[in-house]
């Protein structure tokens, strides 16, 4: 039995290529779909969803496969792989872009920057625009332009009955509201339409690395700097281990550091002056302020969390960086093994905070930081120890959290956080889920699947 009228490729469990195709970014997630439908067009998605309905299977989309929790890898269901749907159309005059369901952030950035335009995208070019957008979309342009969803102006969606709808603030407004932060649990988006903005192509960036002993000073600097920073600036503190690469002095390789990475999209000379203050503290290990293409800057974190390693994430929104918080993070980092492990705080505020929280499904518009614990490692023998360390740190962070959480950073054992996590938007999301996916064809946290 298979999908009929399908122009893409269907991979069954016995097919060559099935094993390689099923795994996403996080090797910890080892589930077996009953088949993988590699779609070439919207009609293929319709056929795959209809097949899922006829056979009472979960139908789950995959764009970039970067889901931390493995939300795009259903056990026993159909994996609807959109990675072949790479269409990108940019309208430079109208400053809009329409993209297919399988486009990656690096591809979106490249196509829009060819016209000096951009929409908020995340820090890793291989992340899918699909999953990132549907969860919210945080990146270095968010304070200036808002979350990715704040720039989503329309979408084409395949619903649970196989029908195709266009949604925006006028058409199926409840669905459009839910898609903006509520994830892929309401339908499969085959086209995203974005509003674009003039950005770069050159931007001013800075990096500063200090010994972890300076973590409180770094935290205090970020806190005071960001309270008054213009929306042009985003500054992300990262508590990490310095990698063994030539960029850093050899004596610091493998040592802990409190780092800051910043991007300023304002006029060059003012931006350089503002970011120079990141380098002003004593004991700087390495740092610079430089002008570079936005496209190059967007590759800064590329490869820091490589595809196919083992990962476990936890996250909370945080209002303020205090000495108490930094103390917990420093202890937590020292307790957290893993060659790719780090703790980061994405700065929000600016345009993100000017959208009322009920306007989209995204859970928290008031917090100034999104704090992520990203544990990453290769050796499966370390799984339990590292997951336990991340959980211990998360437990110690609870006093700093109001319970809301960024959907895109939920891990696989956190479905129970969905209710509190969606904050004031939970009840409406549940109501929209009942209307658009009454049989829970698409799963997701509201449907009790990861
Ligand atoms: C290394 C790394 C860096 C990251 N950096 C950032 C960052 O800077 N900013 C940020 O906001 N997030 C970031 N994230 C989180 C990221 O946004 C989420 O992991 C996101 O879900 C990934 O999207 P994807 O399409 O690659 O994932 P997938 O695994 O393909 O999909 C994730 C979820 O979205 C659903 N989905 C995907 N496409 C569609 C579609 N077209 N229609 C319906 N449902 C769909 C899937 O079913 C699944 O539930 C990062 C993640 C990683 C692993």
Helix, strand, coil percent content, the chain, rounded in steps of 5: 35, 25, 40
What does 293-357 look like in DSSP terms, one character per residue?
Answer: EHHHHTTTTTTSS-TTSEEEEEEEEES---HHHHHHHHHHHHT---TT-EEEEEE--GGGTTS-G
Atom of ligand 1 at shortest range from CA of 148: 11
Among 65, 78, 106, 122, the mutation site with the greatest number of ligand 1 atoms within 8 A of its Cβ is: 122
CA of 101, closest atom in ligand 1: 41
Strand partners, 164: 158
With 0.85 as the threshold, say if the pTM is over it.
Answer: yes
End-to-end CA distance of the chain: 27
Rg for the chain, CA atoms, rounded: 21
Q: Which residue has the tokens 């213009």?
A: 230
| DSSP secondary structure code for residue 389 in this structure | H
Identify the sign of the CA torsion 212, 214, 220, 222. negative
201, two tokens: 């192509």
CA nearest ligand 1 atom 51, residue:
66
Q: How remote is the CA of residue 13 from the centroid of ligand 1, in Å? A: 25
Say which DSSP state 282 is in: T
pLDDT value at residue 446? 79
- Write down the pLDDT at residue 173: 98
Q: Which of 174, 168, 171, 173 is nearest to 192 (CA)?
A: 168
Task: Give the model's pLDDT for residue 1.
Answer: 58
The pLDDT value recorded for residue 302 is 85
Cβ atoms of 397 and 322 closer than 8 Å: no
Q: In the numeric block, which tokens belong to residue 402?
A: 């109001």
pLDDT value of position 82: 98
Reported as half-sphere exposure (CB side, CA atoms, 13 A), residue 417 has a value of: 23
Beta bridge partners of 313: 374
Q: How far apart are CA 168 and CA 402, in angstroms?
A: 31
The beta strands (E) that lie in 168-296 are given as 188-195, 197-198, 202-211, 233-241, 256-264, 286-293
pLDDT of residue 317: 98
Residue closest via CA to ligand 1's atom 52 equals: 66
pLDDT at 448 (0 to 100)? 63
**What is the pLDDT, as a whole number, of residue 217?**
98
Measured from CB, residues less than 6 Å from any atom of ligand 1 are: 24-25, 60-68, 71-72, 82, 101, 122-124, 127-128, 130-132, 134-139, 183-184, 188-189, 305, 408
Q: How remote is the CA of residue 24 from the centroid of ligand 1, in Å?
A: 11
Per-residue tens of pLDDT for the chain, all 450 residues: 588 899 999 999 999 999 999 999 999 999 999 999 999 999 999 999 999 999 999 999 999 999 999 999 999 999 999 999 999 999 999 999 999 999 999 999 999 999 999 999 999 999 999 999 999 999 999 999 999 999 999 999 999 999 999 999 999 999 999 999 999 999 999 999 999 999 999 999 999 999 999 999 999 999 999 999 999 999 999 999 999 999 999 999 999 999 999 999 999 999 999 999 999 999 999 999 999 999 999 999 988 999 999 999 999 999 999 999 999 999 999 999 999 999 999 999 999 999 999 999 999 999 999 999 999 999 999 999 999 999 999 999 999 999 999 999 999 999 889 889 999 999 999 999 999 999 999 998 876 655
Question: Closest ligand 1 atom to the C-alpha of 133?
Answer: 17
Which domains can be identified in the chain, with CATH numbers? 9-81 (3.30.43.10), 88-199+426-436 (3.30.465.10), 202-409 (3.40.462.20)
What sign does the CA torsion over 378, 295, 300, 63 have? negative
Looking at residue 2, what is its pLDDT? 82
**Closest-lying ligand 1 atom to the alpha carbon of residue 68:** 19
- What pLDDT does residue 419 have? 87
Of ligand 1's atoms, which has the minimum distance to the CA of residue 184? 44
């Amino acid at each position: 039995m298979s999908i009929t009228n399908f122009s893409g490729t269907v991979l069954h469990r016995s097919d060559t290529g099935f094993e390689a195709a099923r795994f996403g970014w996080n090797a910890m997630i080892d589930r077996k779909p009953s088949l993988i439908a590699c779609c070439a067009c919207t009609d293929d998605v319709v056929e795959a969803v209809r097949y899922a309905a006829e056979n009472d299977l979960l139908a789950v989309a995959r764009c970039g496969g970067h889901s931390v929790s493995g939300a795009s890898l259903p056990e026993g269901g159909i994996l609807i792989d959109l990675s072949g749907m790479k269409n990108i159309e940019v309208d430079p005059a109208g400053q809009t872009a329409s993209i297919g369901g399988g486009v990656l952030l690096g591809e979106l950035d490249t196509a829009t920057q060819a016209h000096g335009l951009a929409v908020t995208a995340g820090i890793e070019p291989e992340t899918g625009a699909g999953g990132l957008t549907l969860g919210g979309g945080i990146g270095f342009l968010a304070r200036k332009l808002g979350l990715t969803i704040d720039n989503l102006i329309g979408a084409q969606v395949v619903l649970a009955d196989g029908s195709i709808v266009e949604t925006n603030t006028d058409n199926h407004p409840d669905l459009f509201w839910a898609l903006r932060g509520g994830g892929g649990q309401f339908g499969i988006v085959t086209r995203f339409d974005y509003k674009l903005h003039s950005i770069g192509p050159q931007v001013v960036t800075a990096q500063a690395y200090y010994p972890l002993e300076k973590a409180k000073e770094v935290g205090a600097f970020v806190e005071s700097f960001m309270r008054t920073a213009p929306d042009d600036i985003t500054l992300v503190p990262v508590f990490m281990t310095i990698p063994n690469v030539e960029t850093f002095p050899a004596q610091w390789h493998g040592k802990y550091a409190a780092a800051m990475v910043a991007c300023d999209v304002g006029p060059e000379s003012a931006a350089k002056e503002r970011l120079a203050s990141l380098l002003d503290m004593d004991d700087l290990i390495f740092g610079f302020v430089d002008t570079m293409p936005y496209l190059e800057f967007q590759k800064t974190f590329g490869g820091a969390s490589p595809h196919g390693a083992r990962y476990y994430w936890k996250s909370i929104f945080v209002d303020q960086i205090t000495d108490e918080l930094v103390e917990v993070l420093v202890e937590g980092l020292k307790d957290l093994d893993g060659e790719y492990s780090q703790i980061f705080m994405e700065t929000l505020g600016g345009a993100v905070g000017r959208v009322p929280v009920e306007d989209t499904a995204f859970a928290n518009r008031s917090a100034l930081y999104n704090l992520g614990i990203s544990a990453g490692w290769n050796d499966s023998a370390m799984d339990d120890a590292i997951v336990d360390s991340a959980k211990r740190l998360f437990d110690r962070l609870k006093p700093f959290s109001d319970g809301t959480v960024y959907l895109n950073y939920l891990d696989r054992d956190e479905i129970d956080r969905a209710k509190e996590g969606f904050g004031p938007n939970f009840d409406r999301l549940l109501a929209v889920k009942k209307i658009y996916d009454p049989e829970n064809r698409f799963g997701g946290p509201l449907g009790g699947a990861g």
